[in-house]
Amino acid sequence: MLKRLEIVGFKSFAKKTLMDFSNATTAIVGPNGSGKSNVAEAFRFALGEQSMKSMRGKRSEDLIWSGSNESARSNRASVAIVFDNKKRIFPKLDYEEVSIERAVFRDGSSEYLINGSKVRLRDVQELLASANVGETGHHIISQGEADRILLAHPRERRAMLEDALGLKIFEFKKQEAERKLEKTEENVREVEALRREIAPHLRFLQKQVEKVERAEELMRELADLARTYFTREEAYIAGERSASNARRSEATERLATVSADLARFDERATTDSEGMKRAESIRHAERDVDRLSQERAQLSREIGRIEGGLHESKKRAASVAREPYVKVTREDLSTLREEVEKQAKIHDDAEPGAIRAALGALRAAVAAFFDRYASPNEDYLAEEENAVSQLENERTTLLTKDAELEGAIEKARSALMKAREDALAHEETGREEKRRILGLAESKAREEGALAREDARMRELQMLADELERDRAEVLALAGAAAFSEMETELAPEERRLQEERKRTLERLKIRVEEAGGTGEDVRKEYTDATEREAFLTRELEDLAKSAEGLRGLIGDLDEELTKTFAEGLANVNRSFGEYFGVMFGGGGAKLVLEEFDTEEEEDEDEYEEAESKKKKQGKPGIEISVHLPKKRVQSLMQLSGGERALTSIALIFAMSQVNPPPFLILDETDAALDEANSRRYGDMIEELAKRSQLIVITHNRETMSRAGILYGVTMGSDGISKLLSVKFEEAAAVAK
């Protein structure tokens, strides 16, 4: 029994809306455009409808409240249908109440829930099929779809009828049986392939059994050799470990002694403040030498500038002295040039005294030259000579300062040398300690190296022990416990190379035993296992064949049951169809007729249908509708008027619902084209149907309203949101007028 409907954000129902269905017949009324038909589409949506055309949309986003000036748009739409399951209309669910919910989001995704748990669309379809609610929507007749069944393709019309007859559950069972049959046939092919694979292996094992005696002889030889090898290898590893541990202990003790001595020297080195002071004195003296050297370099540049100006002044004085009447001999010029070059070479000497002497000689030579060739222009010449004299005085002052700086530099260098000598003396004092520290460090390194070598040796011995264990396991698997019996005599010492040769021989024997097929028991066991496996596969193949035969029989039975039930249902529908048709038209007759049609597959043209939607069934005869009206010759359904088609559709829908009643039936304005007399007949049929199925009728018809136990009014305000009201019959009738 349908219990309630919950709508949130679906189309015009922006806000949560609840509808309770506590009566056999519920009528939904309201003005055109108020959103009444959205209730029927909400049912379609929740029950898994995939065609957007059936819900008057182009894409899934059209199903979500789009918003208005007063209310923001929603990001999702959800519809939940709640059933009363006390009578177990859903036999697979042991719940008193069953909720089927579907939600769609603006990104186009959707989800299905049964009692709050996410499920697949197929799970919803199978659950509904168990309650005679099929995929074709024959139990929901939307506005303007009253004659949908009349206009449908014969194949689609047959699918609607099969849904109405409750055959979908048989179809699901048949599909499941076909899937199982396909899987079983696949398993048969796999088993046959395994048998083909085993056959050559069995032949191979037969040959291997013939090699058992030779293999057992090799195993005895392997066991004898392994006993000697394992005993000697264990003794060798144990002895080497003991010796290595002793050497390691000795090295550890020596390392501890050396480390303690080094620690004492390190402590004295960290507290050597005197050395730090001497280093600071050296750094101070070096800074003084650098500073004074920079000052002298700056002074030298200044002396160079003065000497350059002096040179220019002397040139100008000489130029004044050389009047046209003054004759300077080539010999005198040559003598002056030689003297200048001579003094210039002396100027390159680094000693200040030599520089001062050279400058004095230069001054004398120049003065003598000008005395000899004095210009008659005495005033100008005197100015130039005065400039030369000033520059020479500046140079003399700078040279004096240069000599002072030189003395200061020499003093700073002496201090630096003294500081370095003191530091070297201090270092020499500690050099012996450093040599001792170096010797201790070398000793420490040697002991650490010795420890590292012993660690490496222990790792090497561990690798030998691990390899020995692997050899034990391999020999145990190949030769058994005989290889591990105790040696009777004590083994004499021998060279290591003999044990290594024994190891190589052991490896060769293991390979030969493996190539021989292992122990005889292994070969026999494998042969027995393979034989048993082949027998098992034979039995399995027989069981699979029986299972496949059973599934084919089940599919045949289901096909027979479907054919039989369909034929019986068709006859019952035709009987009810004829009766309802006669009531609606006051005579005449109508029936459903099987008719062959083109089986070419047709795809659903709705590009927004989900992937889970199925293709229509092929190969079955379709269903045509044959009608004849009283006192009227009709060649086809298309020759009927709109009202006649509506009455025919209603008669067929009611007939289909009468034969195998669904839990509920939704009729959206299917009575719109009925006159008063037909409306009363329609109302009578509704009351009859309500005894078997819950009815939800969306109507403007006063007569239909009067037959409803519950009336819901749907209104829409200025905000575009549909609202639900519980109304009385008189109010609904007034709206209908």
Distances in whole angstroms, Cα of residue 462 to Cα of each of 456, 468, 652: 10, 10, 90
Q: Are strands 589-595 and 622-628 parallel, antiparallel or unpaired?
A: antiparallel
pLDDT digits (tens, 9 = 90+) for 430-466: 666 677 777 877 887 888 888 888 888 888 889 988 8
**CA dist., res. 470 & res. 456, Å (int):** 21
Instruction: Find the range with the poorest average confidence among 492-496, 553-557, 613-617.
Output: 613-617
Contact status, residue 456 vs residue 462, Cβ threshold 8 Å: no
Q: Using DSSP bridges, classify how beta strands 97-105 and 110-114 pair: parallel, antiparallel or unpaired.
A: antiparallel
Give the pLDDT of residue 119: 93
Q: 376: which DSSP letter?
A: S
**Per-residue model confidence as pLDDT tens digits over 692-731:** 888 899 988 888 888 888 899 999 888 889 998 876 665 6
What is the structure's pLDDT at 26? 92
> What pLDDT does 74 receive?
92
Distance CA 346, CA 416 (A): 31
Residue 636's pLDDT is 65
Does the pLDDT of residue 79 top 90, yes or no? yes
Length of the chain: 737
Burial string for 434-453 (b: 16+ CB within 10 Å, else e) reads: eeebeebeebbeebeebbee
Sheet of strand 2-8: strand arrangement: 17-20, 2-8, 76-84, 97-105, 110-114, 117-119
pTM of model > 0.85? no
Q: Helix or strand or coil: residue 356? A: helix
* More confidently predicted of 6 and 440: 6
Percentage, residues of the chain above pLDDT 70: 80
**Residue 634 has what pLDDT?**
64
For the segment 513-549, what is each residue's pLDDT rounded down to a tens digit?
Answer: 777 655 567 777 877 888 888 888 888 888 888 888 8
To the nearest whole number, what is the mean pLDDT of the chain? 78
Is residue 609 scored above 50 in pLDDT?
no
How confident is the model over 94-148, as pLDDT tens digits?
899 999 999 999 988 999 999 999 999 888 888 887 777 765 555 677 665 666 7
What pLDDT digit, counting tens, does each position of 356-387 carry? 676 777 677 777 666 655 544 555 567 767 87
Each residue of 575-590: pLDDT tens digit? Answer: 888 887 888 777 888 8
Instruction: Please state, in angstroms and rounded to a whole number, the distance separating the CA atoms of residues 462 and 469.
Output: 10
Is the confidence at residue 177, as pLDDT, over 50?
yes
Across 646-666, average pLDDT: 78
pLDDT band at 6; cut points 50, 70, 90: very high
Reported confidence tier of residue 324, pLDDT bands at 50, 70, 90:
very low
Q: What's residue 180's pLDDT?
A: 85
